[in-house]
Structure 1
């Protein structure tokens, strides 16, 4: 089975870097599945889906040919949302995989950047796989069965997921623009060569298609077989709950508040909120009770130094982390009540041990031999003792630097290693927060409070939702709760676009980020006033697609 998964390639989608380019490989790998064979029966269609599942987290070139080893799918794209929006803060100038370049907004703003090309390429490859399955099932002559409907539901869900990702990155935000006229992305339904290049559809057209696909997915899942029970691997399979969760995200991003609330409630029903021990376990496994969807990373197919935790977790044994421990915005952390156990994963008093720390307060003073960290300036023993205590608690060594406000929310199952861990995409907590925001935007104060109450009371022993009794106070609190609960899980970029909020690391006493390190990204105007929030269309796509010209560039 692993060999089949490793080489699951569909000949009709062996394209080079862009989705619309008509430059296809003329040969089929010896153990690839041809287009006709892929659609011959349910077993082969499931193999196609398994390839897409793995393609979500693999190094790009191993599943979707033409990629680049510098990106491993959602290992990169998930934390990128918090890296770009200033939530996942760099404490030093390490730049492996261009992670600092991303943070400084010097990558997605360039049409030739690897990030712009590969995100586009990755999502359109998902769409082409989905089209293959959808068209094959709808136009074929296979007998309808629950299994076939489940495959069809997953294909529609994948297509909706990919288009939502594309339109949210390469187009102006729905709520801050003019979706009926704003350019979106090319809308493609083809699954057979030769592909016809398409121009950019409008944002509204893309959103409409996403909605249609999600409704079709839900309808298919209702007639389909249920997702099997088992270990973390089963949650890599999409089901009706994933479709409802994506529908909640889609509706929230377009201001369809009632649909967002209803879909969020439907999505979370079978996923109880995590308790304290689960929440502090590291967010490294689909086994967590409230995980609705995530990639189960195959042990033998690890991405090593291309992984999510390499970029974001302070327990991963890689130079990006050892030399540049990631910290949280101290304004956010300081606002967390002491009665809220989520505060425990942010180590406010961690000593600054990094001689390369961008705040110039790291390591020891060469003249006095005392710590430069003002919290330990006259007490080397306390500095060393606290460092040793943190090392012991979180399974790291002195080869890992520490920094005030560093986090241990994301932790390897095997700390201090490079072992692979799962990548979580959707949790029940997000669905409570979506419902709360949607109801607050409808000015349903009691409804929003009731949506927040289960989550708040689980996390904070002194939680009292009744103090948030106006729309303004509720929205401020919901933003805070999203910031804490979903920190490091990649939602910062789309949240800021939806709320039309900029980035200001200097405000209210400062985030802890360095203006010298962050450069132009230290303060960024809100999305409605700054088109740099929109990813550039890849230059390779403009070069290849006769229906997209330089004048279409964002």
Structure 2
């Protein structure tokens, strides 16, 4: 398998204090350093994680928003292709076996698995005295392995609910932690899911009676916990139709994480210290990725050309459906002037203005200036109708680093509600969604939805709105077996000329392009994979 070994070469590249391979597993402190390397590898540029990585991908900074970029939820308003972000949106990255996106995503996830294996195999060998701290390291290692395999099988395998998991090819399962590595063929989707479930149960068991590292604040939520393991279990179970397990695990995962108030929700989703955050990367200034970051790709406040020249907009069909009483509507600006003369829709600049709110050029320019002043944009930032300000830099108009959030309590409410509805429990589903829905919209009423079908559509709406920009679009589309149609029902606001073939995509059950290509380099290097294994 073409992944990095844990020899000195890797350890010296790991973005933390380097230690020799001989000493890496000698004690808890050194094991924690390896674990910290995995933590930091989630948001570091990939060449710092393994040889052969590329500066064009800063791992989860790219992979998190990619889910909404592929699903057409994070809409591009102009032609910009920094970091192949436009190519990914056009479905010209994950469908190519030699693309950076296909290759680095695969190798990063297997890099996590390698180092999780290293810790698991040593601790489970019984050569070390079991302590509460060692149990926590083991719990994190099992959780990381489950996280990486779930990520891999959901991208490089057919969706569990739309295929035949017992026979559909998944990804290779590896347990080795020492060179020479033994390559493996692809396991089935079912076999990978079974391994994920086993790892999550082992993680939850290991966390019992364990002692977390002595860190606090935003750094504490960069460490994995039993809550993260339960949250991943909820995701895993939901994606495979194990509704009862999904509902139960989601309820456990969110315990103790208070829903955000309005001010917190509108603060930009840039800090692990938000009350809802269960897990996120605490990005430290010394290892920032600058123009490779999540906020460079997805926000409208970062001071980079991808943002200034290409304001990201939300699907206007979703925005227009948000009730006036729902404060989440405030982070989308339907009436923002189109100040970008290079806008894909051809309506940029005062000369092409179509909004009757602006009767004069002075009114148009004043509205642009007010948005820039309100949200801390620079003079070079463009505006566009339906642009968003959900994701915002803590220091808008800068290139400062911000945390990357992976799991929030809101997601767990959504999982529980969907799972209960799938079990035919409409009343239970409404009760599960109620705390979240009422927190966002004081006038929300479950009485509006009298059938399972109507409430399912509402749950999907809540998913799209609450988790917008946080990367859930891709896996949601696969679970719901929904295609993409930017032209339906009045249109999303996306440009067909810009989006090309990605403007309309058939549903995953009939379109294998939803499945990522296996890296050609992996097929070339792994004797157990052949061209016939390619998706």
TM-score (norm 1): 0.94
Sort the Cα spacing of 1:439 and 1:274 in 2 relative to 1 into closer, same or farther, 3 A: same
- Tell me the C-alpha RMSD between the 2 structures: 1.6
Separation (CA, whole Å) in 1 of partners of 2:511 and 2:341: 36
Q: Report how many residues are paired.
A: 532
> What is the SS of the residue equivalent to 2:397?
coil
- Residues 425-457 of structure 1 show CA distances to partners (whole Å, capped at 9, x for unaligned) of 000000000000000000101110111100011
Separation (CA, whole Å) in 1 of partners of 2:176 and 2:50: 17
1:149 aligns with 2:130: no
Separation (CA, whole Å) in 2 of partners of 1:28 and 1:288: 32
1:400 aligns with 2:386: no
Separation (CA, whole Å) in 2 of partners of 1:442 and 1:496: 20
Find the counterpart in structure 2 of residue 10 from structure 1.
none
Find the counterpart in structure 2 of residue 174 from structure 1.
160
Find the counterpart in structure 2 of residue 261 from structure 1.
247
> What is the SS of the residue equivalent to 1:185?
coil
Find the counterpart in structure 1 of residue 171 from structure 2.
185
1:309 aligns with 2:295: yes
Q: Is the 8 A contact 1:152 1:217 kept in 2?
A: yes
Give ranges in structure 1 of 5+ residues lacking alignment: 1-14, 366-370
Find the counterpart in structure 1 of residue 343 from structure 2.
357
Find the counterpart in structure 1 of residue 412 from structure 2.
431
CA displacement at 1:539 relative to structure 2: 0.1
Give ranges in structure 2 of 5+ residues lacking alignment: none
Sort the Cα spacing of 1:23 and 1:38 in 2 relative to 1 into closer, same or farther, 3 A: closer
Q: Is the 8 A contact 1:323 1:401 kept in 2?
A: yes
CA displacement at 1:141 relative to structure 2: 1.4
Separation (CA, whole Å) in 2 of partners of 1:55 and 1:512: 36
Q: Is the 8 A contact 2:6 2:21 kept in 1?
A: no
TM-score (norm 2): 0.97
Find the counterpart in structure 1 of residue 221 from structure 2.
235
Separation (CA, whole Å) in 2 of partners of 1:23 and 1:233: 25
Q: Is the 8 A contact 1:187 1:200 kept in 2?
A: yes
Separation (CA, whole Å) in 2 of partners of 1:241 and 1:28: 29
2:101 corresponds to which of 115, 119, 122: 115
Sort the Cα spacing of 1:350 and 1:27 in 2 relative to 1 into closer, same or farther, 3 A: closer
Find the counterpart in structure 2 of residue 88 from structure 1.
74
Separation (CA, whole Å) in 1 of partners of 2:273 and 2:156: 33
Find the counterpart in structure 2 of residue 205 from structure 1.
191
1:537 aligns with 2:523: no
Separation (CA, whole Å) in 1 of partners of 2:97 and 2:8: 25
Sort the Cα spacing of 1:261 and 1:296 in 2 relative to 1 into closer, same or farther, 3 A: same
CA displacement at 1:29 relative to structure 2: 4.2
Find the counterpart in structure 1 of residue 393 from structure 2.
412
Find the counterpart in structure 1 of residue 365 from structure 2.
384
Q: Is the 8 A contact 1:186 1:198 kept in 2?
A: yes
2:466 corresponds to which of 485, 498, 507: 485
CA displacement at 1:140 relative to structure 2: 4.1
Find the counterpart in structure 1 of residue 305 from structure 2.
319
CA displacement at 1:503 relative to structure 2: 0.1
Q: Is the 8 A contact 1:443 1:471 kept in 2?
A: yes
Separation (CA, whole Å) in 2 of partners of 1:38 and 1:226: 19
Separation (CA, whole Å) in 1 of partners of 2:58 and 2:354: 36
2:121 corresponds to which of 135, 139, 146: 135
Separation (CA, whole Å) in 2 of partners of 1:169 and 1:195: 24
Sort the Cα spacing of 1:167 and 1:416 in 2 relative to 1 into closer, same or farther, 3 A: same
Sort the Cα spacing of 1:460 and 1:227 in 2 relative to 1 into closer, same or farther, 3 A: farther
CA displacement at 1:142 relative to structure 2: 1.1
Question: Structure 1 runs of 4+ off > 3 angstroms?
Answer: 21-32, 226-229, 373-378
- Residues 65-113 of structure 1 show CA distances to partners (whole Å, capped at 9, x for unaligned) of 3211000010000000000000000000010000000000011001111
Q: Is the 8 A contact 2:335 2:355 kept in 1?
A: no
Find the counterpart in structure 2 of residue 449 from structure 1.
430
Find the counterpart in structure 2 of residue 5 from structure 1.
none
Q: Is the 8 A contact 2:6 2:178 kept in 1?
A: no
Separation (CA, whole Å) in 2 of partners of 1:63 and 1:552: 27
1:469 aligns with 2:450: yes
